[in-house]
Every structure is written in C-alpha cells, then in structure tokens.
Amino acid sequence: MDDPLGPEVEGWLDRVDWLREHSGDAALLAERLTVAPSVLLETYAEPGAEGWTEVGSAVARRDGPRWRHEVDGPAAALLAGCQGVLPLNELLELLSFAHDRPTDELVTATLPAVREFVRHGVLVPAEEQAR
C-alpha cells in the first residue's frame, strides 16, 4: 500500500494474526509484552478551588491512527510493567498482590483490554520489539 496508513494496515494484520495464534488465555498469559515506543500515558485534570485535581488517564499512540484508551491505576501499572521481561501472568500476579485483588478476577478483567492494546499496537510482543 502506498498511502500513509499502508504500514499500519500491515502491522494491524500481523497483530490480528498474532492474537489468533494466542487466542487461548494460557497462551496470552505466557507471553512477554512491551509498550510500543510511540505510546504515551496522558493524565488530565480539572481546575478546582485548591488547584488541579487529576480526573483520568489514557494511553495513546503518537503514530498511525493514534489509538487512545482510557486507563485506570491498575491498567497503567500493568502497562508500566510490560517491558518484555516478565510474562503477562507474572505481572498480573504482582498486580493482584499490590492492589489486593484476586488474581483470577484480575485476569478475567484484564485480558480483553490486553487484546485490544495488542490489536491497536499499544502493546507488542517482546520479540517484535527486539526487531
């Protein structure tokens, strides 16, 4: 494709194929993921009587179609941990301990978002990042 989104379309198709290969929860949980280099964590705040009050955060890509996802504290912490070192299951175990939540509950709540992050190029398999 010659248009500016050509590489993004190819990358998206590659990511969808990767997700198909890792469609089971166990396969995805065993993977090491990393945040793409073009991703930023944005925080936003509202003015108040005593200054600014943080009201939310989002991760956003600075390239391609500029996907953007709202994130809460635990999601931001998970993304910060995605440095390609630990598999996703170990990161979720650490996160469940840090936030005093059952690991199974956290896994169930998190995997759909992780799949969207991969689909949108916010998270990439660690071996992809190494290339």
Q: How far apart are CA 88 and CA 61, in angstroms?
A: 21
Share the mean pLDDT of the chain. Answer: 91
Whether the CB-CB separation of 44 and 55 falls below 8 Å is answered with yes
The string of pLDDT tens digits covering residues 28-41 is 999 999 999 999 99
The string of pLDDT tens digits covering residues 84-101 is 999 999 999 999 999 899
3-class DSSP state of 49: coil
Which residue shows structure tokens 């989002």? 58
pLDDT at 11 over 70: yes
Residue 9 CA, chain-centre distance (Å), reads 19
The string of pLDDT tens digits covering residues 23-69 is 999 999 999 999 999 999 999 999 999 999 999 999 999 988 889 99
